[in-house]
Amino acid sequence: MTAVLIYSERDELAHDLLAWAASRREELGERVAAVLGRDATARAESYRSFGAARIFFDEGEALAALLDDVVAQALADIVDRTEISVVLLGATRRGRSLAPRLAQLLDAGCVSEAVEIEIESGRVVTGRYSLGGNTIAREVIRTPIQVIGVAPGTVERATAGPTAGEMVAYEPGFGPSRATIVARRNKPAMETNITESERLVCVGRGLASEEDLPLVKDLAAALGGELACTRPLSYEYGWLPEDRMIGISGQKCSPKLLMSVGVSGQVQHTVGIQGAKTIVAINTEQGAPIFKLADYAIVGDLYQVVPRLAARLRARGDS
C-alpha cells in the first residue's frame, strides 16, 4: 500500500493538494498530511475535512520557525515512518526552497515547481516551465520516492467534505536549526492583489515617464481591472509598488484578459503572464517578442492607442 505525503505552510494549498490526491486515491493511495509550526495543533483539525487519513502535527520549538533544514528533516522522518512514495508540497517560495532539500535527504528526484500535474498509466507526470519559460518540460520522477512542488493554482480549489482522519502528534528527535529568525515583517499591505484580478493592464518600459501613468491607469479603470507592470518600472524606477510587478521575481498572473502595453516581452517577464487566457499586446516594435505571446496585436504607439482604446471601452459600457 503506497501513500502520499502532503505539506504546505499555507493550509489552503495543502487542502487543495489533499483533495486532488483524494480524487486519485487508486494511484496515490492513502493521504498523509503534515502540519508544522505555529498553531499546528489547531490548524491540523481543518485537514480532517479534506481527505487526510493521518495528520502528523507539531508546534514544538524545533520547528516553530519553519526553517528549511529542520522542516526537511521532519518530513523525511515522516516519510521513513510511513509508506510514502509521493510527496506533494505547495510551491510557495518556502516550498520551492524546501522541496530540493527534502529530496536530497531522501535521495529522491524532485520537480520544484510543477504547473501541470496528472497521472498517466499510474505514474505522476508533471509539467514545469523550462528554457526561461519558452517551453514546458514534462517529466516523470523515477526514484522510489518522488518530491513534487505544485504551484498555487495548478489544482482545483478544494471544498471541505466529511470529517475523518487520525491525528498523530509528531515529536521531532532533533533540536532547532542553527539558523534563527531575527524578525518577520509583513510587506507593505498590498493595495490590491493583482493575481486575483480578472483583467489586467501591464505596462512596461514603453511608458516614457512616471507622469504618464494616469494614461494606463485609465485604461485599467475602463476595463474594470488593475494596473500591473514589468520589473524596471517597479524595482528600478519605483513608479509602481512591487506588489504590482509581474515576472520571475514578481507575481504570476492568470487573468481572463491581459493587455500588455509597451512591454518588449523578455522571458523573465513573460513567465508571469503565461496563464492569461487572452493577451492583447500594444507595442511600437513589430519584432517585439511579446507579440509571439499575444492573441491580438496592435503595432503602434501606446500614446496614440491607449487613450482611444480606453475611450472606446468606456463608450461601450455606456451604451
Query: Does residue 92 belong to the site contacting another protein (CB under 8 A)?
Result: yes
Tell me if 289 contacts another protein by CB under 8 A.
yes
Among 46, 68, 172, 217, binds another protein (CB under 8 A): 68
Residue 223 touches another protein, criterion: CB under 8 A: yes
Q: Is 161 in the site for another protein (CB under 8 A)?
A: no
Is there binding between residue 205 and another protein (CB under 8 A)?
Answer: no
Which member of 177, 232, 303, 314 binds another protein (CB under 8 A)?
Answer: 177
* Alpha-carbon span 184 to 230, nearest angstrom: 27
Scanning 21-29, 40-48, 53-61, 104-112 for contacts with another protein by CB under 8 A, the matching segment is: 104-112
Binding residue for another protein, selected from 2, 23, 41, 134, defined by CB under 8 A: 134
282 touches 300 (CB < 8 A): yes
129-134: Cβ within 8 A, 24+ apart? 129/271, 129/274, 132/267, 132/268, 132/271, 133/248, 133/267, 133/270, 133/271, 133/274, 134/267
**Binding of residue 108 to another protein (CB under 8 A):** yes
Q: Which of 53, 125, 167, 213 binds another protein (CB under 8 A)?
A: 125
Q: Which residues contact 106 (CB under 8 A, 6 or more apart)?
A: 76, 79, 87, 143, 145, 147
| Residue 178 engages another protein in binding (rule: CB under 8 A) | yes
Size of the site for another protein (CB under 8 A): 86
Looking up cell 511600437 gives 284
Residues 43/35, Cβ–Cβ less than 8 Å: yes
Among 181, 191, 196, 238, binds another protein (CB under 8 A): 181
